[in-house]
């Protein structure tokens, strides 16, 4: 038994004809081809049989007792459960009217009696193949519909999940499409998606934002004002923009952390209000600056303290050693300061030290030249990139500045105003020695200044070792 014969066994053909000889011939022929065959001799009988079991194909005569073939066909085509059954009319009627009518009411083919057996077989096979292809197509279509419905359900789940994530996010989330001019240059962006936080931040709703332009002339001062070029760069170069951005307007002052990435011909962006964090950072930075200032500034004289002196001379010693440049140091001391305290009191002494320190600081001109309270009534001035003669001129300027203060000092043994003695030294540092070499030389110069009567500038070179 071949495959075609086996396939045909699953096909049921109903022959409706009132002539027994036609039924016998057709039944024998179709059964030989492997088809299952049943027959009816009138229209009413045919409808009853079809109701009991739907055939795969009907060979229907037109001229039948009780109900003719046209009535049978109309009845079958009017009912959903039978309208799909292909009907081939087998009739002795040969007029054009009958053929047109047969096709009009739903017949798929028309064979005129007397018929050729081979023709009948061919037309039956053709119609059953069409039915088979239609069945396969419906199966494929139904499968595609099922797959699409499943995909749509998954997509709807994903959309619902995404919407839930977006709507529950504490960050502003938005997507924008680039707006290009006739030269294909980006001139603006328009809103595609915005979550509630993003919409609320810009004073809109998620619906009113859709399609709106982001950078338009009438909206100067909006939240992203000034970021157009950066957004364009994200699209054109596929770079990621991450920026802390300060928005400052009459009605709103906020810090935002913005992250923007390329999305198609546009950008996807998240932004977060970090104003509280930035305020904490700014407060901490100011506090650290105050602590650093307090750690490096002498509270009485308001110039750098001894701690800062030790750091700075080490720093500049290394720098000048690398660059083979001079480093100079001035040490100075208020003359007969103990006698000043004894005469005017400690409060006046503190005021005197403050005025002297401020006078020294005014005499030091260059940014890299720093004055320090070295200890008690002693002060130091570090002069990077300054050779001996330059340091002596600075020292003489300081000496004159203190003289010009005209602070009374009746207990002084060298005059009636406050004066200072200064020792100066200079060196080109090297890595084999330490700043102590320069400090010792300047201290020796200060000692000579005091030994020679005070109120003067003495320079002493660094002794070679």
| Distance in angstroms (rounded) separating the CA atoms of residues 253 and 69 | 87
Q: Check 204, 377, 378, 387 and give the catalytic one.
A: 377
In what order do the strands lie in the sheet containing 241-248?
186-194, 172-180, 266-273, 253-262, 241-248
Q: What is the DSSP string of 165-226?
A: HHHH-SSEEEEEEEEE-TTS-EEEEEEEEE-HHHHHHTT--HHHHTT-BSS-GGGTT-TTTT
Q: pLDDT per position in the chain (465 positions), as tens?
A: 454 555 555 689 999 999 888 899 989 989 998 899 999 999 999 999 999 999 999 999 999 988 999 999 999 999 999 999 999 998 888 888 888 999 999 999 999 888 888 888 998 999 999 888 888 998 999 999 998 888 888 877 776 766 666 677 778 888 899 999 999 999 999 988 888 888 887 778 888 888 888 887 544 456 787 889 999 999 999 999 998 888 777 667 788 889 999 999 999 888 888 888 888 888 888 888 778 777 899 999 999 999 999 999 999 999 999 999 999 999 999 999 999 999 999 999 999 999 999 999 999 989 999 999 999 999 999 999 999 999 999 999 999 999 999 999 999 999 999 999 999 999 999 988 899 999 999 999 999 999 999 999 999 988 654
Q: Which domains does the chain have, with CATH numbers?
A: 3-137 (3.40.50.2300), 172-276 (3.30.450.20), 297-459 (3.30.70.270)
Is there a catalytic annotation at residue 204? no
In 3D, which of 167, 60, 144 has the Cα closest to residue 105? 60
């Amino acid at each position: 038994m071949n495959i075609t014969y086996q396939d045909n066994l699953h096909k049921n053909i109903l022959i409706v004809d009132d002539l027994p000889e036609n039924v016998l011939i057709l039944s024998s022929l179709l059964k030989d081809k492997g088809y299952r065959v049943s027959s009816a001799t009138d229209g009413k009988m045919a409808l009853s049989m079809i109701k009991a079991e739907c055939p795969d194909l009907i060979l229907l005569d037109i001229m039948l007792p009780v109900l003719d073939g046209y009535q049978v066909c109309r009845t079958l085509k009017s009912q959903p459960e039978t309208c799909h059954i292909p009907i081939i009319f087998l009739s002795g009627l040969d007029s054009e009217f009958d053929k047109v009518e047969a096709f009009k009411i739903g017949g798929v083919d028309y064979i005129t009696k007397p018929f050729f057996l081979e023709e009948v077989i061919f037309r039956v096979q053709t119609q059953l193949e069409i039915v088979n292809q239609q069945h396969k197509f419906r199966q494929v279509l139904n499968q595609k519909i099922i797959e699409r419905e499943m995909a749509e359900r998954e997509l709807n789940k994903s959309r619902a999940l995404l919407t839930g994530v977006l709507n529950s996010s504490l960050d502003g989330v938005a997507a924008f499409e680039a707006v290009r001019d006739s030269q294909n240059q980006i001139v603006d962006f328009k809103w595609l998606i915005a979550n509630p936080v993003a919409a609320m931040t810009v004073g809109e709703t998620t619906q009113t934002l859709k399609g709106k332009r982001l950078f338009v002339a009438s909206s100067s001062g909006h939240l992203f004002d000034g970021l157009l070029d950066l957004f364009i760069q994200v699209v054109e170069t596929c770079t990621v923009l991450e920026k802390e951005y300060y928005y400052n307007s009459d009605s709103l002052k906020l810090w935002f952390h913005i992250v923007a990435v390329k999305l198609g011909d546009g950008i996807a962006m998240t932004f977060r209000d970090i104003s509280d964090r930035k305020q904490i950072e700014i407060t901490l930075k100011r506090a650290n600056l105050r602590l650093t200032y307090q750690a490096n500034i002498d509270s009485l004289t308001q110039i750098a303290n001894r701690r800062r002196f030790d750091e700075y001379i080490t720093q500049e010693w290394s720098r000048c050693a690398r660059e083979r440049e001079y480093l100079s140091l001035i040490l100075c001391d208020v003359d007969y300061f103990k006698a000043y305290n004894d005469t005017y009191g400690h409060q006046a002494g503190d005021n005197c030290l403050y005025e002297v320190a401020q006078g020294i600081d005014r005499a030091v001109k260059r940014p890299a030249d720093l004055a320090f309270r070295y200890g008690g009534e002693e002060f130091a001035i570090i002069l990077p990139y300054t050779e001996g003669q330059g340091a002596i001129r600075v020292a003489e300027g300081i000496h004159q500045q203190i003289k010009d203060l005209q602070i009374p000092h009746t207990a002084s043994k060298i005059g009636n105003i406050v004066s200072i003695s200064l020792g100066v030294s200079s060196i080109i540092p090297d890595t084999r020695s330490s700043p102590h070499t320069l400090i010792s030389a300047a201290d020796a110069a200060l000692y000579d200044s005091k030994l020679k009567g005070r109120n003067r500038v003495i320079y002493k070179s660094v002794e070679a070792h």
